[in-house]
Structure 1
């Protein structure tokens, strides 16, 4: 049963076995075709039949005319494949002198007084007539000569046939086996949890189809897990808002002014933390539709909003720039970047540039910046810019950059951190003008 499974054509092992069998069969067919073309087993004129005909002509020319019939009969019996015969003068019209490398040698060996003429061919043999000095003409058949360099060498023909067969079949097999893997890798690259991605194609050998089925099931489980996680945290957030609200009401009755303020600050931090976590989870689910957005107007609006709150935020860039994006997600991501910038810097600049097929949004501040060793870590959730363990209104929860990065990746772009001269930080978000939205990892 295992042996039969090995030759199952839907599996990679079966296809490789079939490839080997087909290669052997094709090789034998090519060698057989070459054998049938050359037919070494066929009784044909020997390679030096033209020399035998020349010697017969010289012998007959030297003999008396009375001895020629007997000599001609002896030559015919000694060399039956030559089919030598005498032709009566004037009975056959010659086609002209024969030209060719083989028969040039015949004329050279015959010398003066002899004439080589071409007669009517007979199948694959050439019928040659030689006119003797006394006018007598004899005719004979010469073969097609020695086989060519390729078919004449059995080892070389076999080797070249094997190389050609294996090469052609190997190229075909590589394409047939690699094409499903390429499509599988391309589909896996566009894996997403937003519900819009097509399942991985289940085609190709059985092993590749099994991998595709396993990945599709894994995708369903991950999507279900993410959905359950979001619903669970949303329910927890909803349930926690009620006791937070009750605690705020009770804190109002605390007579000690200092304790009351500290309790209210802690409750506000709890509320903000819940909202930040839910914002990150909502961004993972990509529930907002992609539409045409005027990015320049969005950035100008964000700068005006922070300016109204007393911060120094400038916008530099074109008046209008349209791209396909999720407007609320884009607004939230840039707002998070500006919030971080005004927290650590006194003056912030939002700059928009178009480089090729990408929009580049830079949020620059004049704060202390971030060291190169911490730039990559700062993009992870719950990583804050300072090393303090306590949280207050100025430190945040370490979710602003990670949310903005998830939004950038969800739009098919990227987020990176750069140093600003002479000091400060540049947070760069690159978005394609027309992008294929995908899920942030």
Structure 2
């Protein structure tokens, strides 16, 4: 492993390290620019009028009353722009309602013993009156000067705000750059199909992400090739077995013993049915039927009528019309498998449909012996047959009906589950969404 392999820009670690370094450099540049703008090392400007008047008031307030006329004269000569003067006691003053920033600064500098107010004699709006601690009053002209920037308007606050926004945006970008490939992996896994219609995952991004995408695409290719080889092999075996089964059936017709002939024909029919069931399960893995708007209620009523015509007691309970987006042939096949299992073990079967919000529920109920709780999950797997209570006829099925129905439910974005019926029997519940995005495979 290279010493600086971590900082390889094609990898996730290198990109994160580069992002941190770039953020530090950008922060230093911003701080340097703020320093050059604010220049805390430059010479302070001379005090303004408010500062000079406040210092004069402190000087006069600490002096003896007899010394104040001389001090006022000295201040006038030193700072003629202040136009400082001592006001006579009880002089009529006009106090302005304005309260500028310079008055706040003077009050803070003088303290609570001095009272500061803005005076407005004639048209001069910049005169300020100060009451000394002993009650004497002085007045002077104050130029408010330039307004000092507030803390949140200064360069330091702007720097902090810019750093916060920059770090937040960089963090969001990094999170998006790392989470987007993971979302692509999830979509690719959900849309994986064995018919080759799914697009391969794009191999872009950091080196680690590209390696994972490349491995996922190869895995999908191997799975599809394996399933295709399995289907072809079993289809060839089924095709090759049909011919000897047919020959055996023809030879069985010449057996004189009626009992032996009937048993042999039953065994041959069972072998043929088993081959067709296996091929049907394999075709369901590869078949992709387009979704369309289907009247679920009419489909269930049709299935109930078909089984009733064959002499079974099958009822439909539910709304007269209920539409949903589904694959019509697959749905018909899945419900038919469930009803076939129900009429095999029960005397009376009920198909119930309930639509609530964005989900529809199809229940196939029978009054048979039911299935034990520890066997319910295993019954949904292929080639798993019922327990002793439900195995009344060993030649009746091959354990594929529920697994095919479950695969169809999953392909529709739903689920299939088994429940007990009161007082006895089984409820097979298929829950499907009313509206769904097209999915390629279960």
Q: Report the TM-score when normalising by structure 2.
A: 0.76
Post-superposition Cα deviations, 1:105-147, rounded to whole Å, max 9, x if no partner, equal 46768944643323485xx6x9xxxxxxxxxxxxxxxxx69x9
Secondary structure of residue in 2 paired with 1:323: strand
**Could you tell me which residue of structure 2 aligns to residue 171 of structure 1?**
172
- Range 200-209 or range 164-173, more displaced: 164-173
Tell me: CA distance 1:322–1:167, structure 2 relative to 1, closer, same or farther (3 Å).
closer
Post-superposition Cα deviations, 1:294-317, rounded to whole Å, max 9, x if no partner, equal 333322222222222222112222
Tell me: CA distance 1:288–1:172, structure 2 relative to 1, closer, same or farther (3 Å).
closer
Post-superposition Cα deviations, 1:281-304, rounded to whole Å, max 9, x if no partner, equal 111112433333333332222222
Secondary structure of residue in 2 paired with 1:100: helix
- Select which of 117, 142, 157 maps to 1:118: 142
* Aligned mates of 1:160, 1:288 — CA distance in 2: 56
**Could you tell me which residue of structure 2 aligns to residue 25 of structure 1?**
25
Tell me: CA distance 1:392–1:247, structure 2 relative to 1, closer, same or farther (3 Å).
farther
Post-superposition Cα deviations, 1:343-394, rounded to whole Å, max 9, x if no partner, equal 1111111122222222322111000111111111100001101259x99565
- Select which of 100, 105, 117 maps to 1:102: 105
* Aligned mates of 2:326, 2:152 — CA distance in 1: 69
Tell me: CA distance 1:43–1:241, structure 2 relative to 1, closer, same or farther (3 Å).
same
- Equivalent residue runs for 1:30-49 within 5 Å: 30-45=30-45
Q: How far did residue 239 of structure 1 move?
A: 1.1
* Aligned mates of 1:346, 1:251 — CA distance in 2: 34
* Aligned mates of 1:318, 1:62 — CA distance in 2: 104
Q: How far did residue 330 of structure 1 move?
A: 1.9
* Aligned mates of 2:392, 2:308 — CA distance in 1: 26
Alignment pair present for 1:324 and 2:325: yes
Post-superposition Cα deviations, 1:60-106, rounded to whole Å, max 9, x if no partner, equal 987979x969xx8xxxxxxxxxxx7656989xxxxx99842222346
Task: Check conservation: 1:345, 1:367, Cα contact below 8 A.
Answer: yes
Secondary structure of residue in 2 paired with 1:44: coil
- Range 223-232 or range 374-383, more displaced: 223-232
* Aligned mates of 1:434, 1:113 — CA distance in 2: 85
Tell me: CA distance 1:383–1:55, structure 2 relative to 1, closer, same or farther (3 Å).
closer
- Range 49-58 or range 424-433, more displaced: 49-58
Paired residues, what number?
A: 399
Q: How far did residue 172 of structure 1 move?
A: 3.3
Tell me: CA distance 1:391–1:364, structure 2 relative to 1, closer, same or farther (3 Å).
closer
* Aligned mates of 2:295, 2:70 — CA distance in 1: 114
Tell me: CA distance 1:171–1:420, structure 2 relative to 1, closer, same or farther (3 Å).
same
Tell me: CA distance 1:353–1:116, structure 2 relative to 1, closer, same or farther (3 Å).
same
* Aligned mates of 2:393, 2:425 — CA distance in 1: 22
**Could you tell me which residue of structure 1 aligns to residue 87 of structure 2?**
none
Q: How far did residue 436 of structure 1 move?
A: 2.5
**Could you tell me which residue of structure 2 aligns to residue 197 of structure 1?**
198
Task: Check conservation: 2:406, 2:416, Cα contact below 8 A.
Answer: yes
**Could you tell me which residue of structure 1 aligns to residue 121 of structure 2?**
none
- Equivalent residue runs for 1:215-254 within 5 Å: 215-254=216-255
**Could you tell me which residue of structure 2 aligns to residue 367 of structure 1?**
368
Task: Check conservation: 1:323, 1:433, Cα contact below 8 A.
Answer: yes
Task: Check conservation: 1:31, 1:161, Cα contact below 8 A.
Answer: no
Secondary structure of residue in 2 paired with 1:396: coil
Task: Check conservation: 1:188, 1:200, Cα contact below 8 A.
Answer: no
Secondary structure of residue in 2 paired with 1:253: coil
Tell me: CA distance 1:296–1:113, structure 2 relative to 1, closer, same or farther (3 Å).
closer
Q: How far did residue 164 of structure 1 move?
A: 6.7
Post-superposition Cα deviations, 1:256-290, rounded to whole Å, max 9, x if no partner, equal 33332222222111111111111111111124333
User: Unpaired runs of 5+ in structure 1?
Assistant: 73-83, 91-95, 127-143
**Could you tell me which residue of structure 2 aligns to residue 314 of structure 1?**
315
* Aligned mates of 1:48, 1:426 — CA distance in 2: 92
* Aligned mates of 1:364, 1:87 — CA distance in 2: 104
Tell me: CA distance 1:375–1:47, structure 2 relative to 1, closer, same or farther (3 Å).
farther
- Range 15-24 or range 158-167, more displaced: 158-167
> What value does the CA root-mean-square deviation take over the aligned residues?
4.0
**Could you tell me which residue of structure 1 aligns to residue 338 of structure 2?**
337
Q: How far did residue 243 of structure 1 move?
A: 0.7
Tell me: CA distance 1:46–1:31, structure 2 relative to 1, closer, same or farther (3 Å).
farther
Alignment pair present for 1:188 and 2:189: yes
Q: Report the TM-score when normalising by structure 1.
A: 0.76
